[in-house]
Amino acid sequence: MLCPNGCELLMEERKMEKLFHRNNEPVIISELTIYVCKECGQEVIPLKTARIIEDVLNEKINPSGKFTAELYEVSSL
């Protein structure tokens, strides 16, 4: 796959973890297939991956676990 920015190098397929928000709550989806340009870093999400993200955010897929993390708000620093 070629970079939409016109870079010369082919994009690299990677398995990545991404953070989304559903109802103001964080949702992490891991093992997403995403293409990344080795030259400029542009990411492209293939349609199959986009549909998985949509299903997760629409609660059509059950979670496989939970996570907790510390929150830092810039306005409180």
User: Which pLDDT tens digit goes with each residue over 32-43?
Assistant: 999 999 999 999
Average pLDDT over residues 51-62: 97
Sheet holding 43-44, edge to edge: 11-22, 25-37, 43-44
**For position 64, what pLDDT does the model report?**
93
Q: Which amino acid is at 51?
A: R
- Which one is predicted more confidently, 76 or 23? 23
Average pLDDT over residues 49-65: 96
List domains and CATH numbers for the chain.
1-62 (3.10.20.860)
